[in-house]
Structure 1
């Protein structure tokens, strides 16, 4: 990109983007319904009980799962805990500043928690070591190391891949001493019951549907739609953020159908 074009892009991003839209292409060369490539590196964090690194285009997120033993809640004595969190540090993008977690990171963490709980990816009852006494707490911590848009999709992929990679020490509860005892030799994989994957779309000018938006495109969008689908193609959730689209009535229907096709394509690539 020439210096003049780069300056114009920064000063007039919407006009710059509209020029590409009028030519039926996006600034990165993709069609509006095209997705960026996905790559995964699983199990590379040796200090975690499970880990994964996901690249969605240039957006890169690493996730580690750390397990601890705690007492269950009184009203749920036979259920453990799943605690997801996403960090968007200043190092990953100029848009984020040093300091406490940003509102965007907190909102994304809440949405990730909702997606994991709604999918029942790990039955909380399977995390019980002894009812009322000891359960597993799984801290699923994701950190963005390079941000180029659509962090929700990338983070959910990273969390799912890390959980699938997780193995816990075989644990029993000693009634005499009143504590859980973990084996140093035997580890047991998590019981994964469902694998949710999200596909996100942006709505530009209330009409144009854009798949997998980049960090440049995100601020220009009226609406963001995220569709979470499982391995059977069943719908887990649909979230719409931003202004209500005044475009075609079948916008959500289009996004759901496109998400299911994308999920099927990822399955064929043996990514998930």
Structure 2
């Protein structure tokens, strides 16, 4: 009976739960789904992490390649994120070139990297105007059930914290780079940006929306903060407006979420070192 009601009237089905201040999956409105992190999941990558938020699962692999710095930025390296939403993660995605959602997520990751200054790109320069590192951060969704941005941002941060680059020197005579794979050094992570997403549903605001809640929501908001409580990014793709008071409340909740997940990453890293 409940399954039929959910299929025929999904909006009313969700409203029946919201009247009782809960959600179909048993969570409270402000409750985030259980989150787990596995670090070093890809042995062939220079750094990797797998993040699971409820049923949403994202894996990130970091691959470092040597490159020439840009003429306009001779003392900097590059960080290039890319989000992939293959058909295997959800029937709503199709094979072929990256769709609109995947492209938007990739741009969001690039914006987080730049606005939060998660690491200084100067640290990726090996020899000014001659040689630098490019970090290709490939994020693949293995299972999609909403809130892609939170899972991707956490997987990216955990993978960067797991990344270790080989020692590189440039031969003075030949100018050829010499890579020592036996000597590796971890990245200097300057800040720890974490995303927290919410969706508005009538007069209610839900934290960490599922895929179905996202589809029914009237608006969505993603807040990115760091360990100092600094607001790094605010992403609201249209929808109904939020009051200043509600916005301040959600930023506060995002800050608390950042602290929680920052501790989780550190705990996982300590457990494997």
> What's the TM-score, normalizing by structure 2?
0.93
How many residues of Structure 1 are paired with residues of Structure 2 in the alignment?
267
Query: Which residue of 2 is the match for residue 227 of structure 1?
Result: 223
CA distance in 1 between counterparts of 2:170 and 2:73 reads 18
Q: Against the structure 1 CA distance between its residues 271 and 156, is the aligned structure 2 distance closer, same or farther, given a 3 Å change threshold?
A: farther
CA distance in 2 between counterparts of 1:184 and 1:49 reads 11
The equivalent position to 1:260 in structure 2, one of 255, 262, 269, is 255
CA distance in 2 between counterparts of 1:120 and 1:8 reads 47
- Tell me by how many angstroms 1:220 deviates: 1.0
Q: How far does the alpha carbon of each residue in 1:101-153 deviate from its partner, in whole angstroms, 9 at most, with x for none?
A: 11100001101110111111111100001111111000000101011110100
Query: Which residue of 2 is the match for residue 238 of structure 1?
Result: 234
> What's the TM-score, normalizing by structure 1?
0.94
Q: How far does the alpha carbon of each residue in 1:151-202 deviate from its partner, in whole angstroms, 9 at most, with x for none?
A: 1000100000000000000011223222321112111111111110010111
Query: Which residue of 1 is the match for residue 111 of structure 2?
Result: 114
CA distance in 1 between counterparts of 2:68 and 2:49 reads 28
Any conservation in 1 of the 2:194–2:261 contact (CA below 8 Å)? no
| Mean CA deviation greater in 231-240 or 142-151 | 231-240
Query: Which residue of 2 is the match for residue 87 of structure 1?
Result: 84
- Tell me by how many angstroms 1:258 deviates: 0.9
- Tell me by how many angstroms 1:265 deviates: 3.0
Any conservation in 1 of the 2:37–2:52 contact (CA below 8 Å)? yes
* Correspondence list, 1:35-184, <5 A: 35-184=32-181
CA distance in 2 between counterparts of 1:203 and 1:172 reads 53
Query: Which residue of 2 is the match for residue 31 of structure 1?
Result: 28
Q: How far does the alpha carbon of each residue in 1:22-74 deviate from its partner, in whole angstroms, 9 at most, with x for none?
A: 22211111110001111111012100000000011111111100000011111
- Tell me by how many angstroms 1:11 deviates: 3.2
Name segments (4+ residues, structure 1) moved above 6 Å: none
Q: Against the structure 1 CA distance between its residues 187 and 267, is the aligned structure 2 distance closer, same or farther, given a 3 Å change threshold?
A: closer
Query: Which residue of 2 is the match for residue 12 of structure 1?
Result: 9
CA distance in 2 between counterparts of 1:232 and 1:150 reads 24
Unaligned runs of 5+ in 2: 269-273
CA distance in 1 between counterparts of 2:174 and 2:24 reads 64
CA distance in 2 between counterparts of 1:66 and 1:130 reads 20
Query: Which residue of 1 is the match for residue 245 of structure 2?
Result: 250
Query: What do you get for the CA RMSD once the two structures are aligned?
Result: 1.5
- Tell me by how many angstroms 1:268 deviates: 4.8
CA distance in 2 between counterparts of 1:10 and 1:68 reads 49
